[in-house]
């Protein structure tokens, strides 16, 4: 799943409480307040100052914000060229806006509508967190249940951390695992259990004091919950959440998404143009990124979320079990200056404070191979928006939901969100590799003979790498899928190969640097595990 860890930092450019006026009245003294009327209401509000917003929302302002959405979406789609988009708003327990725009696949006339199924990518984390909250409310697990209580084979590199690691720790990304741990194993074709087993080989940052976003860490927690419930994760999600809410088009299985007649095809942005070039199959990390859904279904989920776990008068998720997920559990984006606001993370939710002094819940999702999604909830205004697209992430849904939040809270768009998100996502879409974008040396030192490099090179984490000679050229073979990559000579014992997958932006180039007894693959060396030793299988 594409790296979106910078997005909460932009979303965190919102929020301060303005309580001085209310507190200055002195009404916190019960003796100064009568038993009824407005003064009593004031006391009720002041009993929890954290619920008091700094800016009121006038009557009709939310309706006015909704009325702006058609034009905002049209501008974003025209400027970006994204093939399809779907947007919905929930307010006061009702869906007040739901529309599809554009097409499900570039070059066709297949229109996006409210029933079109999109891949949610990392919005799956928030949806899945409500599944866990359901199980917490049912007594199956607690947020602080150790992961190994129901998943005894799972381990991290520190035995003490392994013993104390909870479901909540992994849903808050505070395990100490490196950022996006295991994602590149999935790209090589390893399945869920194989990836989770290898997490024990990774170095750890300080436990519970370090925020690093991990799809497979969260997936391990979900596996533990599903095992405790006596089923698999996709079935648990269906039984605990999708069926009770009537989310008939929603699934945590890729096969269901692919089989849906009305589904949006993913498009990757290549050289400024959206192209249907590949398909993202995220089953290995389904709890973190494998949900697919439609606007019709997502509005039900958002209504339940705004209803504090209830939908159509029925209790779907216990409110006490849901509360830890949607409240701050760790600082995810520390303040960069004394005047800036920090961003925090709950269990599967970004939790922020807006510039109007209101708590907001949100999450972005993105597949480089063709999906970008975002939702944003303002509980105190009883309003939520979700935006789904079928193009790789460049900040479109985040721009729209931020614009809408400004209109809801201030009656105007106060920031150039399009430019802010364009800048943030441009940095994340840069190709990797020291040699990316560089020209080969004009007079390189010659390599050894091809036969000198041929052989098997072992690595416990990544598995064996084979170097083969085919028609006088070297080929690198990696992973369970035996992915073949041509090695191009650069200089002396350094070769290069291109990488194109879910986690590698177009133009990514990796060095393969040989010595007498090993080869180091730059793209796979981000955690210091990229050395493959000759002869070790």
In the 3-class helix/strand/coil scheme, how is 435-461 assigned residue by residue? Answer: CCCCCCCCCCCCCCCHHHHCEEEECCC
Each residue of 67-124: pLDDT tens digit? 999 999 999 999 999 999 999 999 999 999 999 999 999 999 999 999 999 999 999 9
* Element of type H or E holding 86: strand 84-91
Each residue of 444-468: pLDDT tens digit? 999 999 999 999 999 999 999 999 9
Count of positions (residues) in the chain: 537
Contact status, residue 394 vs residue 384, Cβ threshold 8 Å: no
Contact status, residue 154 vs residue 140, Cβ threshold 8 Å: no
Q: Return the CATH class of domain 450-534.
A: mainly beta
Contact status, residue 376 vs residue 353, Cβ threshold 8 Å: no
Domain ranges, ordered by start, for the chain? 7-18+53-428, 25-52, 450-534
* Element of type H or E holding 274: strand 273-275
The per-residue pLDDT for 82 is: 97
CA-CA distances (angstroms) from residue 86 to 38, 299, 370, 401, 459? 42, 12, 15, 12, 44
DSSP assignments along 294-319, one per residue = -HHHHHHHHHHHHTTTEETTEE-S-H
Alpha carbon 317 to its chain centroid, in Å, reads 22
Using 50, 70 and 90 to split pLDDT, how confident is the model at 47? low
Contact status, residue 308 vs residue 318, Cβ threshold 8 Å: no
Query: How many angstroms separate the CA atoms of 9 and 43, rounded?
Result: 35
Q: For the chain, what is the mean pLDDT?
A: 91
The per-residue pLDDT for 536 is: 61
Query: How many angstroms separate the CA atoms of 52 and 272, rounded?
Result: 44
Contact status, residue 83 vs residue 72, Cβ threshold 8 Å: no
Closest among 160, 193, 197, 200 to 177, alpha carbons compared: 200
Contact status, residue 55 vs residue 410, Cβ threshold 8 Å: yes
Query: What does pTM read for this prediction?
Result: 0.90
Look at 143 and 273; give whichever has higher pLDDT: 143
Query: Residues 6 or more apart from 104 whose CB is under 8 A from it?
Result: 83, 84, 110, 111, 112, 116, 262, 263, 264, 265, 390
DSSP-derived secondary structure letter, 263: B
Neighbour tally for 202: CB within 10 Å: 18
pLDDT higher than threshold 60 for residue 366: yes
Query: How many angstroms separate the CA atoms of 357 and 206, rounded?
Result: 32
Look at 426 and 71; give whichever has higher pLDDT: 71
Contact status, residue 120 vs residue 291, Cβ threshold 8 Å: yes
Look at 21 and 357; give whichever has higher pLDDT: 357
CA-CA distances (angstroms) from residue 190 to 77, 104, 330, 370? 36, 30, 30, 21
Using 50, 70 and 90 to split pLDDT, how confident is the model at 429? confident
CATH label, 7-18+53-428, candidates 3.20.20.140, 3.40.30.10, 3.40.710.10, 1.10.10.60: 3.40.710.10
3-state class (DSSP) for residue 32 = helix
Query: How many angstroms separate the CA atoms of 244 and 47, rounded?
Result: 35
């Amino acid at each position: 799943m594409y790296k979106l860890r910078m997005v909460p930092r932009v979303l965190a450019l919102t929020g301060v409480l303005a309580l001085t006026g209310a507190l200055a009245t002195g009404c916190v003294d019960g003796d100064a307040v009568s038993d009824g009327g407005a003064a009593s209401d004031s006391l009720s509000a002041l009993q929890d100052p954290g619920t008091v917003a700094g800016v009121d929302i006038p009557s009709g302002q939310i309706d006015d914000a909704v009325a702006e959405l058609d034009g905002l979406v049209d501008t974003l789609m025209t400027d970006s060229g994204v093939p399809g988009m779907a947007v919905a708003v929930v307010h006061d327990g009702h869906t007040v806006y739901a529309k599809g725009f554009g097409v499900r696949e570039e070059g066709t006339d297949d229109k996006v509508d409210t029933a079109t199924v999109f891949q949610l990518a990392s919005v799956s984390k928030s949806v899945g967190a409500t599944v866990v909250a359901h199980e917490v409310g049912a007594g199956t697990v607690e947020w602080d249940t150790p992961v190994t209580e129901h998943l005894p084979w799972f381990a991290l590199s520190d035995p003490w951390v392994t013993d104390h690691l909870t479901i909540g720790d992994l849903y808050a990304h505070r395990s100490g695992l490196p950022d996006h741990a295991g994602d590149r194993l999935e790209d090589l074709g390893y399945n869920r259990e194989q990836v989770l087993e290898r997490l024990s080989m990774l170095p750890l940052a300080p436990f519970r004091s370090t925020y690093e976003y991990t799809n497979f860490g969260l997936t391990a927690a979900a596996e533990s919950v599903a095992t405790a419930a006596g089923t698999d994760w996709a079935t648990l999600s269906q039984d605990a959440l999708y069926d009770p809410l009537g989310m008939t088009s929603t699934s945590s299985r890729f096969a269901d998404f692919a089989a849906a007649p009305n589904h949006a095809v993913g498009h990757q942005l290549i050289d400024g143009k959206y192209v249907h070039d590949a398909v993202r199959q995220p089953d290995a990390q389904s709890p973190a990124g494998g949900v697919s859904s439609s606007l019709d279904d997502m509005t039900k989920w958002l209504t339940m979320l705004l209803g504090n776990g209830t939908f159509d008068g029925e209790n779907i998720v216990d409110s006490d079990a849901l509360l830890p997920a949607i409240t701050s559990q760790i600082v995810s984006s520390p303040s960069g200056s004394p005047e800036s606001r920090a961003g925090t993370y709950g269990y599967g939710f970004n939790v922020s404070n807006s510039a109007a002094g209101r708590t907001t819940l949100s999450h972005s999702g993105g597949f480089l191979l063709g999906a970008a999604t975002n939702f944003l909830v303002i509980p105190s205004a009883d309003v939520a928006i979700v935006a789904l697209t079928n193009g790789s992430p460049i900040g479109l849904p985040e721009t729209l939901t931020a614009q809408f939040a400004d209109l809801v809270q201030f009656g105007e768009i106060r920031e150039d969100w399009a430019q802010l998100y364009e800048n943030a996502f441009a940095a994340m879409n840069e190709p990797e590799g020291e040699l990316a974008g560089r020209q080969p040396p004009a007079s390189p030192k010659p390599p050894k003979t091809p036969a000198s490099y041929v052989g098997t090179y072992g690595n416990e984490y990544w598995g064996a790498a084979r170097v083969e000679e085919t028609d006088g050229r070297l080929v690198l073979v990696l992973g369970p899928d035996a992915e073949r990559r041509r090695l191009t000579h650069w200089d002396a014992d350094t070769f290069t190969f291109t990488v194109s997958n879910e986690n590698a932006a177009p133009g990514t180039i990796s060095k393969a640097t040989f010595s007498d007894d090993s080869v180091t693959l730059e793209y796979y060396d981000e955690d210091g595990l990229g050395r493959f030793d000759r002869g070790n299988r």
